[in-house]
Amino acid sequence: MTRAVVQGLVLFFLPFVLFGIYLVIRRRNPMLWSHWSSQSLWLTIAGLGFVVISLLATALLEERQTGAYVPTRIENGRVVPGHFQ
């Protein structure tokens, strides 16, 4: 679950980082709000778009497990991990 949250945050902030790099290349100060104010709405929309696209791609392309799930159990004093049958 932590990986999914971190991945979503990275994808959301990717347009902001790229715009900051663009400002540095253009020799503008990326710490001034005046450079960000007119672009903040579009950067937010792009970040949310990246997150939505990644969630849809994961839902459509992820391998599905088939069969019944057998939960973790103890047999003869040993832990048998859960698996699909």
In this structure, of 1-5, 20-24, 50-54, 76-80, the range with the lowest mean pLDDT score is 1-5
Assess if residue 59 is contained within a domain: yes
Assess if residue 26 is contained within a domain: yes
Please state the pTM of the whole predicted model: 0.67
Contacts of 19 (CB under 8 A, 6+ apart): 36, 39, 43
Assess if residue 55 is contained within a domain: yes
- The 10s digit of each residue's pLDDT in 34-68 is 888 888 999 999 999 999 999 999 889 988 777 88
Domain that holds residue 62: 2-70
Check pLDDT > 80 for residue 15.
Answer: yes
**Exposure b/e, 53-83, CB count within 10 A at least 16 = b:** ebeeeeeeeeeeeeeeeeeeeeeeeeeeeee
Assess if residue 25 is contained within a domain: yes
pLDDT at 6: 92
Assess if residue 64 is contained within a domain: yes
Assess if residue 46 is contained within a domain: yes
Domain tally for the chain?
1
pLDDT at 10: 94
Q: For residues 46 and 12, is the Cβ–Cβ distance under 8 A? A: no
